[in-house]
C-alpha cells in the first residue's frame, strides 16, 4: 500500500477524482461532467448510473495520468453533493428513479403542509434544519409515494435509501456496506444531531422505514473496501463528509469562530461553533461540522442556492459570455452609475429567507444596460447574499461581520474581481488559500489521517497557506447605498 490518497469529489455538475501525494500536493485530476435533468419547473434530477459511470471514469483517469496503480493508494476519501438522494434495489443496486437533487423544489407543498400542522419546531429542535424541500427527508417520502410499488417494497426490506456517498460506497464495495457519515446524515431532516441517531418520531411523521437508511459513522472511519475488479486492487474507504463540511475541514476551520464559504453551484457558509450546539434565531441552520473519534463539532450554516449557477445562467441561459472565466472581466467593464440588481431566486431563496416560491428577478435596468451590467449584477448577487448570511450568523454568534476573516474556496474564487467585490460589500477581509480544491482536500485529509499517512488536525492547520487576502476598499457611503438597493430588490422578490 502506497502513500497516495484518492479523493472522490462527487459534485452537482461533475464527478472528480483527485490524487494527493504524501505532502498533500495534487498529482492528478480526473473529471467528467454529467447531464442535468429538469423534468418540470423547479425540479432537478440526476441519473444515478451516470453519476456512477463518471465517478469510476474519473478515478481511472486520475490513476492513469498519475501513472499509479490502485495498490499505490493508501485510502479513499469521499465528498459529495449533500441532500441529493437515491433509492435503489438492495439486490441489484439499481436505482428505482433518478436521484432528486438538493436544488429540487418538488416537495414544497409537502413542507408547507407539515408547517401548517405545527411540526417545524419539532424538526428544527431535533435536526437543526427547517422544513424546506432542500433537505433529503421529504425527497425520500416523495419517491416512496410516487414510484409505483416503492413503499410496499421498502417495507419488505427490498429497497435502500441514501445520499450520494452511500450510493457510491454501496457500489464501490459491491453491496457490502450501506453506510454514511454524520455530516451527510445531519442533512436528511430525520437525523437527531443531539443524540446522533436516526430519529424514530421524525421517520414516522415522514413514513420512512428506518431499515432503508445507512449506518452512520464518524467522518474518519472504516467505510469498507473497493472491489478489486474495479481498479485492480482493493482500496480502503476511510473518510466521508458532505461537500461543505469537507471544505470546512480542508480550510482547517477547526477552532470555534472560524468560518469558510464555498462558491460552487450554490454558496455555503459554515461557522464553527465547537461542541456547542447553537440554535439560530435568524433562520440559519444548525448542523454537524464533523464528528471525529466520537466527538461532534457543530456549525451554523447559511445556504445560498444560486452562486456559480448564476454565472452558468450568463453563459448558457442568456449567452452573454462564452465561458465562466470571462464573467469577472466583463463585470469590471460595467457602468458604475447603473445600479442593476439580480436576485437569482431561480429555485427559490435559501437562508435567511427560505422562500421556496420566490423566483428570480432583475431590477434597475436602463436602456444602456447590457452584458457587462448583467455580469456585474450576477457576481454582486453572490456577495450580497453572503452579506445577508453573515449578518444573520453574527446575530447568533454575537460578533460583527467586520470581525470575521472569511476563508473562501470553490470555482468562483479564482476571479480577483469577484473576491474584491465580496470583501468590499462585506466590509471584511477575504482569504483565498493556495490550494483551491479544499473540498477534495478535506475528504483526503479524513482518509489520510485515518490511514496514518497524513498529519493530525493541528499540524494540518499549520500547513494551510494563504494565496491572497482581499481587503475592503469601497467608500462606506457607496457600500451602504448598494446594500440598501439589494435589500429593496429582495423584498420585491419574496413571495409572501
pLDDT at 403: 59
Q: Is 62 helix (H, G, I), strand (E, B) or coil?
A: helix
Residue 394, pLDDT above cutoff 70: yes
Q: Which domains does the chain have, with CATH numbers?
A: 4-244 (3.30.420.40), 251-433+465-496 (3.30.420.40)
Q: Is the dihedral of CA 130, 136, 139, 145 positive or negative?
A: negative
Reduced to 3 states (helix: H, G, I; strand: E, B; else coil), residue 327 is helix
Q: Which three cell numbers stand for residue 113?
A: 403542509
For all residues of the chain together, what is the average pLDDT? Answer: 92
φ/ψ region of 257 (left if φ > 0, alpha if ψ in -120 to 50, else beta) reads left
Q: What is the pLDDT of residue 100?
A: 97
Q: Give mean pLDDT, residues 156-178.
A: 96
401 pLDDT above the threshold of 60: no
- Is the pLDDT at 321 greater than 90? The verdict is no
Angle ∠(184,188,189) on CA atoms, nearest 5: 140
Residue range 329-369, pLDDT digits in tens? 898 999 989 999 999 998 888 888 888 788 999 999 999 99
Chain centroid offset of residue 215 CA = 21
pLDDT band at 390 (very low <50, low <70, confident <90, very high): confident
* Percentage above 70 pLDDT, the chain: 98
Q: Residue 238's pLDDT band (boundaries 50, 70, 90)? A: very high
The pLDDT value given to residue 6: 97
**Is pLDDT above 60 for 402?**
no
In angstroms, rounded to a whole number, what is the distance separating the alpha carbons of residues 163 and 242? Answer: 9
Mean pLDDT of 154-178: 96
For residue 315, the 8-state DSSP code is I
Of the pLDDT bands very low, low, confident and very high (cuts 50, 70, 90), residue 405 is: confident
pLDDT recorded at residue 392: 87
Section 123-130 average pLDDT? 94
What pTM did the predictor assign? 0.86
Q: How does DSSP assign 419-458, residue by residue?
A: HHHHHHHHTS-EEEES---HHHHHHHHHHHHHHTSS--HH
| Least confident segment among 12-16, 138-142, 199-203 | 12-16
Q: Which three cell numbers stand for residue 319?
A: 449567452
Contacts 24+ apart (CB under 8 A), 487-494: 488/363, 489/341, 489/343, 489/361, 489/363, 489/364, 490/343, 490/349, 490/353, 490/388, 492/343, 492/361, 492/363, 493/343, 493/345, 493/349, 493/358, 493/359, 493/360, 493/361, 494/349, 494/353, 494/355, 494/358
Say if CB 239 and CB 219 are below 8 A apart.
Answer: yes
pLDDT (tens digit, 9 = 90+) per residue, 429-447? 999 998 888 899 999 999 9
pLDDT at residue 54 is higher than 90 = yes
Question: What is the pLDDT confidence band of residue 67, given thresholds at 50, 70 and 90?
Answer: very high
- Residue 396: the pLDDT is 87
| Residue whose grid cell is 469590471 | 332
When pLDDT is cut at 50, 70 and 90, the band that residue 192 belongs to is very high
The count of other CB atoms within 10 Å of the CB of residue 190 is: 27
Does residue 214 register a pLDDT over 90?
A: yes
pLDDT at 257: 84
Least confidently predicted of 112-116, 207-211, 325-329, 476-480: 325-329
Per-residue pLDDT at 399 exceeds 80: no
Spatial CB neighbours of 116, under 8 Å, sequence gap ≥ 6: none
Answer for the pair 20, 28: CB distance below 8 angstroms, yes or no. no
Which of 44, 55, 49 minimizes the C-alpha distance to 10?
55
Assess whether pLDDT exceeds 90 at residue 457.
no
For residue 1, name the pLDDT band (cuts at 50, 70, 90).
Answer: low
Residue 35 to residue 38: CA distance in whole angstroms: 10
Residue 471: pLDDT band (50, 70, 90) is very high
Q: For residue 400, is pLDDT > 70?
A: no
Distances (CA, A) of 237 to 7, 34, 73, 343: 10, 24, 11, 41
pLDDT tens sequence across 77-88: 999 999 999 999
* Residue 314, pLDDT above cutoff 70: yes
Cα gap 108→426, rounded to integer Å: 31
Amino acid at each position: 500500500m502506497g502513500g497516495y490518497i484518492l479523493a472522490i469529489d462527487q459534485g452537482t455538475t461533475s464527478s472528480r477524482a483527485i490524487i494527493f501525494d504524501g505532502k498533500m500536493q495534487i498529482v492528478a485530476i480526473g473529471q467528467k461532467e454529467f447531464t442535468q435533468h429538469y423534468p418540470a419547473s423547479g425540479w432537478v434530477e440526476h441519473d444515478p448510473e451516470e453519476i456512477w459511470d463518471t465517478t469510476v471514469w474519473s478515478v481511472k483517469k486520475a490513476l492513469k495520468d498519475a501513472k499509479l496503480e490502485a495498490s499505490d493508494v493508501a485510502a479513499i476519501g469521499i465528498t459529495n453533493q449533500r441532500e441529493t438522494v437515491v433509492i435503489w434495489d438492495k439486490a441489484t443496486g439499481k436505482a428505482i428513479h433518478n436521484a432528486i437533487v438538493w436544488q429540487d423544489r418538488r416537495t414544497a407543498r409537502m413542507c408547507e403542509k407539515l408547517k401548517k400542522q405545527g411540526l417545524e419546531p419539532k424538526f428544527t429542535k431535533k435536526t437543526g434544519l427547517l422544513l424546506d424541500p432542500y433537505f433529503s427527508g421529504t425527497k425520500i417520502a416523495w419517491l416512496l409515494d410516487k414510484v409505483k410499488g416503492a413503499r410496499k417494497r421498502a417495507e419488505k426490506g427490498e429497497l435502500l435509501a441514501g445520499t450520494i456517498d452511500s450510493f457510491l460506497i454501496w457500489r464501490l464495495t459491491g453491496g457490502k456496506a450501506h453506510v454514511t457519515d454524520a455530516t451527510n446524515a445531519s442533512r436528511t431532516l430525520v437525523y437527531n444531531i443531539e443524540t446522533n441517531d436516526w430519529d424514530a418520531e421524525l421517520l414516522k411523521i415522514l413514513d420512512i422505514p428506518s431499515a432503508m437508511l445507512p449506518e452512520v459513522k464518524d467522518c474518519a472511519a472504516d467505510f469498507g473496501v473497493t472491489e478489486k475488479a474495479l481498479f485492480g486492487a482493493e482500496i480502503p474507504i476511510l473518510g466521508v463528509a458532505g461537500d461543505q463540511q469537507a471544505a470546512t475541514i480542508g480550510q482547517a476551520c477547526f477552532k470555534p469562530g472560524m468560518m469558510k464559504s464555498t462558491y460552487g453551484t450554490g454558496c455555503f457558509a459554515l461557522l464553527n461553533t465547537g461542541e456547542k450546539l447553537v440554535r439560530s434565531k435568524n433562520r440559519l441552520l444548525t448542523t454537524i461540522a464533523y464528528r471525529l473519534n466520537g466527538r461532534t463539532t457543530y456549525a451554523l450554516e447559511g445556504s445560498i442556492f444560486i452562486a456559480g449557477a448564476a454565472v452558468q445562467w450568463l453563459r448558457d441561459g442568456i449567452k452573454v459570455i462564452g465561458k465562466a472565466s470571462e464573467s469577472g472581466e466583463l463585470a469590471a467593464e460595467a457602468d458604475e452609475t447603473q445600479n442593476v440588481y439580480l436576485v437569482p431566486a431561480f429555485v427559490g431563496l435559501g437562508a435567511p429567507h427560505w422562500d421556496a416560491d420566490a423566483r428570480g428577478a432583475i431590477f434597475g435596468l436602463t436602456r444602456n444596460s447590457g452584458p457587462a451590467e448583467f455580469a456585474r449584477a450576477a457576481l454582486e448577487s453572490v456577495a450580497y447574499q453572503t452579506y445577508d448570511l453573515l449578518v444573520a450568523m453574527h446575530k447568533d454568534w454575537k460578533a460583527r461581520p467586520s470581525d470575521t476573516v472569511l476563508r473562501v474556496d470553490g470555482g468562483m474564487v479564482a476571479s480577483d474581481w469577484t473576491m474584491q467585490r465580496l470583501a468590499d460589500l462585506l466590509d471584511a477581509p477575504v482569504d483565498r488559500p493556495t490550494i483551491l480544491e479544499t473540498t477534495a482536500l478535506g475528504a483526503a485529509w479524513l482518509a489520510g489521517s485515518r490511514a496514518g499517512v497524513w498529519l493530525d488536525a493541528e499540524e494540518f492547520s499549520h500547513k494551510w497557506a494563504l494565496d491572497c487576502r482581499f481587503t475592503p476598499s469601497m467608500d462606506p457611503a457607496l457600500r451602504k447605498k448598494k446594500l440598501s438597493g439589494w435589500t429593496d430588490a429582495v423584498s420585491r422578490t419574496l413571495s409572501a
